[in-house]
Amino acid sequence: MKKTLLGAGFAFTLLFSPFQQAFAAETTIGELRQLDTIAHRGASGYAPENTIAAFDKALEMKADYIEIDVQRSQDGKLVVIHDTTVDRTTDGTGSVKDLTFDQLRSLDAGSYKGEQFSGEKIPTFDEVLDRYHGKIGILIELKSPELYPGVEEMVAEELRERNLDRPQNEKIIIQSFNFESMKKMNSLLPKMPIGVLTSSKADTTDAALQAFATYADYFNPSYGLVTKELVDKVHALGMGISSWTVRSHDAAQFLIDMKVDAIITDYPDYVDPRK
């Protein structure tokens, strides 16, 4: 089991007296967790994904976290974009890894979502950290890190420079579908909360979950994999569970009923109408 484990036990001890703890003994940490709303690529149901417009919208909607996808330009700048090509979400073409930062930055990353968003740019990773840390949590996904050798070290350095590599790190989590990359991230920043992403049922076996729990704090499956039994198993291993991607009220309600710890959604208000 990974040592930092969300700091849940530590917080529990600080928040409650021994008397209260005794009475709460049968209440699991899982039951004590709050449900967090994570704005997927920002509030991407309402604004162009992975842009300042979408992240500001998530902040305005009082989401608990923004989720961002990090890749790297040809000349080594970390940028925030989901696809490995720019074709779908910008007015350009080509692979992110083959375009320079100036080329990426010159693209219009907003118009695909509506003319009112024209002029939105592909944000840089450091720009997102500086603009949002301390204001909203940041769930950082390393997207296709196998395409970007050394990206883990670069991300670690950006976080270290800002003292964001600590448990009291203003709600910053790093996740990826690439498990080797997350093992490496855990070695580089042992105190940083780590998540593993999957949409594969093969990753939900007891053996797989136990292996994840040695370096990860969160097991983050697509919602089609989620059952109450899976949530309980993940919690029993000391990990949190955040599930994705909610784009309907029914999916939100399902995950609320399953008692996951966080819901990753394009529409923060579907999880909590007050948002």
Instruction: Please identify which of the residues 40, 133, 235, 249 carries the catalytic annotation.
Output: 40
Nearer to Ca ion, 69 or 266 (CB): 69
Residue of the chain from 5, 39, 46, 69 that contacts ligand G3P (CB under 6 A): 69
Question: 3-class DSSP state for residue 130?
Answer: helix
Nearer to ligand G3P, 26 or 96 (CB): 96
x-marked contacts with ligand G3P along 118-157 as a string, rule CB under 6 A = -----------------------x----------------
Query: Smallest distance, Å, CB 18 to ligand G3P?
Result: 38
Closest CA to 50 of 166, 132, 115: 132
Contacts with 72 (C-beta within 8 Å, 6 or more apart), sequence order: 78, 79, 96, 97, 148, 151, 154
Nearer to ligand G3P, 104 or 264 (CB): 264
Length of the chain: 275
| Residues 247-266 close enough to bind ligand G3P by CB under 6 A | 264
Nearer to ligand G3P, 124 or 220 (CB): 220
Angle at 199 between CA 195 and CA 200, to 5 degrees: 110
Instruction: Please identify which of the residues 82, 133, 235, 249 carries the catalytic annotation.
Output: 82
Query: Smallest distance, Å, CB 97 to Ca ion?
Result: 17
Asked if 244 interacts with ligand G3P (CB under 6 A), we say: yes
Contacts with 34 (C-beta within 8 Å, 6 or more apart), sequence order: 261
Q: Is 82 known to be catalytic?
A: yes
Q: Is 133 known to be catalytic?
A: no
Query: Smallest distance, Å, CB 208 to ligand G3P?
Result: 18
Query: φ, ψ for residue 95 (rounded to 5)?
Result: -85, 140
Contacts with 261 (C-beta within 8 Å, 6 or more apart), sequence order: 30, 33, 34, 35, 36, 218, 240, 241, 242
Question: 3-class DSSP state for residue 172?
Answer: strand
The residue type found at 216 is: A
* 172-176 and 137-142 strand pairing: parallel
| Residues 187-226 close enough to bind ligand G3P by CB under 6 A | 197
**Residues acting as catalytic residues:** 40, 82
Binding site for Ca ion (CB under 5 A): 69, 141
Binding site for ligand G3P (CB under 6 A): 40, 67, 69, 82, 141, 197, 244-245, 264
